[in-house]
Chain A
Amino acid sequence: MTNCTVKIDFDKINEILQCYNYEKSSLIAILQKVQGIYNFLPEDAITYIGEHIEGLSPATVYGVATFYSQFSLEPKGKYEIKVCDGTACHVRGSSAVLTAIKEKLKLDTGKYTTPDGLFSLEIVNCLGACALAPAVVINGKVHAKMTPEAITLIIDTLIKDERE
């Protein structure tokens, strides 16, 4: 977890809460909406939601947010890299691809967004593209049959594009 200082617009969160009638049972939908605004779930937003829904607390909302991998407590990068580690991708070498990305972007364990905010990394289970294994998705675009060399090249190209 990181302490990202993002200015939170609590009026906007209130709107979302009202929209769902402050229902405990709508928590996941509420969190999805909030994540939709910030691209991640800021800690203060979690606290606020926990305080304002009856029967929940900041700790329980945090529990939900950390339980599901769809929620991120860190800001996502400009380029969201999703590495598939489903069975097919795994046996076809997704681990090596993942290691290559981590080395390239200098991401240690537990940290999944680069300090410049350009890239974020997520490991997902089966994208349903097993024929293309190992698959990597960057901002919605599928890159098939990845190798450590290929993914490094792709990242290099993206970095180069950014600089220009």
Chain B
Amino acid sequence: MGKIIINGRVCEYTDETNVLEVIRNHGFNVPTLCYRKDLIKDFGACRMCLVEVEGKGLQAACNMPPKDGLVIKTHTEKIRKIRKTILELLIANHDRECTACEKSGNCELQKYALEYDVQPTGKYLTREVKIPIDKSSPAIVRDENKCVLCGACVRACEEYQGLEVLGFANRGSQTIAQPMAGKPIAHTECVNCGQCAAICPVGAITIKSQVEQVWRELHNPNTKVVVQFAPSVRVAIGEMLGLEAGTNLTDKLYTALRYIGFDLVFDTNFSADLTIMEEATEFISRLEKGENLPLFTSCCPAWVRFLELKHPDMLNHLSSCKSPQAMMGSIIKEFVPKYYEGYTSENLVSVSVMPCTAKKAEALREEFKRADGTYDIDYVLTTQELGKMLNTAGLNFKKIVGEKADSPFGKYTGAGTIFGVSGGVAEAAVRTAYELVTGEELKDLVIKPMRGLDRTKTVELDLKGKKLKIKIVNTLKEAEKCIKEIKEGKADYQMLEVMACPGGCINGGGQPISCNEPIIREQRAQGLYDDDEKGQYRKSHENPEIKELYEKHLEYPNSHKAHELLHTTYSNKRKDCYISIGEKEE
């Protein structure tokens, strides 16, 4: 608590940890390229947030704690000139192919260069050698020629995932942020979460786009293109269409996807319900047998890859259920030709829209390859990519009238929709597991302690005398702690829900760029919980289309047929990656 004077105005502060936050909370702003509220580590590398502090000279606002009585000026002539020089230096060394850059329009360097009227000066040397662009990953593209060395990606990889795939190499003007020895990122222990792309202020790390390929399929008269979109897409895509974060666009998205040429529109929420049917049943069976507990959720492909690379000895804990994207992919390729006229296995193209870059890699898993050599999912777009396509098509979301998804495989329950937020999978599973175990109706559907965006939550439940403990974590750094607990025999919970992105899929690496601003995350989460609230059905096993699917085709959850279609296997993938160096062959 205290007061500081900013630009001649008395400003009160409470629990802000640095002067930059105080400045922002009082209606001012100073530019910054390296500061991210969501990252803990102080960095202060870009020097764009320098302010003049009376008696202390120039200070970086981002790592200066507020102190009562400070007198600060944020935009003096001197500071403006310094900021302009910093920008000139950065731009001299920057690959300025703005028109062709994925990040154009969302680039912070571009924004500040315009604000500070920066022109190429010719005063400074430019980078002579172009560093090759790393396109090895199915999820992200790295172009070090655009890097401003803000270190956000390095910090995100360490603070969120604990992986430190990216690090700084060399020193001084030779410094670059890169994987070990400049290796292609696909050959590292990268799990494709895309948080580095989400947090990059410029176009140095971007999402590997499949927009062109999807347009080509949409315009091809000989194909039938089927689409599904994930829970958290509906509450985030509005940000790219001029709407508030958290705005639920489910029905309008169905319409919009048809407008731009998709032939059938399904909802991944349907297969999220299906996942719950399978996973809750699997969970109960493991509880009864006391086998492979705690059960790990398997919806998050970054988490699955993390286990396959780092802890292959723990794969028996992982639920054998495919992720909702993959389940929907199987359903589409298996049943659409049977249910819908004009669709054959030859002309059917399956596209998914995900908040996630790791889903692009998941779709390419060998396990999801079909007998004819195609994959269950042919293309994966991120929310960002679909947003671009909708803008290309010039759709006005204020005027679009909502429609329904195609049926069957389009209906969903509230349990499916909350899959997009950390804690949602566990909450949905409990809604079904409770009724399966006790045979009684669950009255109070909202399990409060499972909600909220904390990185770790532990919830104890009472299933009519049967005690149950569930742990929910987001970020792999937290997950690693759980693995350690389990290996040391200290884990007393029966289920572990993991989502690799901070907050869950609502904050996935493929979501509209928000610089990981915590408030936007909360709005998106609220959007999903509201969607759950207003749903006709809120428990997966009540979804009439799910019931029909079991009656007509799958018999019962975890049946032989269900296993063939909806479950998968995992394997030690260490050998795909250089980290296995020095390990003895077994």
- Residues of A with Cβ closer than 8 Å to B? 1, 8, 10, 13, 43-44, 46-48, 50-51, 56-63, 66-67
Contacts and interface: CB of A to CB of B under 8 A. Distances in A.
A56 B164 contact: yes
Contacts of A43: 181
Contact of B165 (A1, A13, A59): A59
Contacts of A62: 167, 169, 180-181
A60 B164 contact: yes
Given A1-B181, A58-B180, A63 B582 contact: no
Contact of B182 (A1, A47, A51, A60): A1
Contacts of B28: none
B581 A67 contact: no
Given A1-B182, A58-B578, A67 B170 contact: yes
Nearest to B163: A57
Contacts of A56: 164
A112 to B, nearest CB: 14
15 contacts: A43-B181, A47-B579, A47-B581, A51-B579, A56-B164, A57-B163, A57-B165, A57-B167, A58-B180, A58-B579, A59-B164, A59-B165, A60-B164, A63-B167, A63-B169
Contacts of A63: 167-169
Contacts of A61: 180
B182 to A, nearest CB: 7
B179 interface: yes
Given A66-B169, A66-B170, A59 B179 contact: yes
A19 to B, nearest CB: 17
A47 B164 contact: no
A10 B582 contact: yes
A44 B582 contact: yes
B166 interface: yes
Contacts of B581: 44, 47-48, 51
B167 A60 contact: yes
Nearest to A65: B169
Nearest to A3: B181
A58 B582 CA distance: 13
A48 B584 CA distance: 13
Contacts of A59: 164-167, 169, 178-180, 188
A1 B179 CA distance: 14
Interface residues of B, number: 20
B74 to A, nearest CB: 34
A8 B582 contact: yes
Nearest to A11: B582
Contacts of B164: 56-57, 59-60
A129 B581 CA distance: 43
B171 interface: yes
A13 B583 CA distance: 13
A47 B164 CA distance: 12
Nearest to A47: B581
Contacts of B180: 46-47, 50, 57-59, 61-62
Interface string B142-183: 000000000000000000000111111111000000111110
Contacts of A58: 180-181, 188, 578-579
A60 B164 CA distance: 7
A53 B169 CA distance: 19
B125 to A, nearest CB: 15
Given A59-B166, A60-B164, 17 more contacts: A8-B582, A46-B181, A47-B578, A47-B582, A57-B165, A57-B180, A57-B189, A58-B578, A58-B579, A59-B169, A59-B188, A61-B180, A62-B180, A63-B168, A66-B170, A66-B171, A67-B170
Nearest to B171: A67
A43 to B, nearest CB: 6
A61 B180 CA distance: 8
Nearest to A43: B181
A58 B178 CA distance: 11
Contacts of B578: 47, 58
A44 B171 CA distance: 21
A1 to B, nearest CB: 6
A48 B188 CA distance: 13
A47 B170 CA distance: 16
Interface in B544-579: 578-579
Contacts of A51: 579, 581-582
Nearest to B580: A51
Contacts of B179: 59
Contacts of A13: 582
Contacts of A46: 180-181
Nearest to A51: B579
A42 to B, nearest CB: 10
B437 to A, nearest CB: 39
B402 to A, nearest CB: 47
A118 B580 CA distance: 33
A60 B171 CA distance: 13
B585 to A, nearest CB: 13
Contacts of A66: 169-171
Contacts of B182: 1
A47 to B, nearest CB: 5
A48 B164 CA distance: 14
A10 B584 CA distance: 10
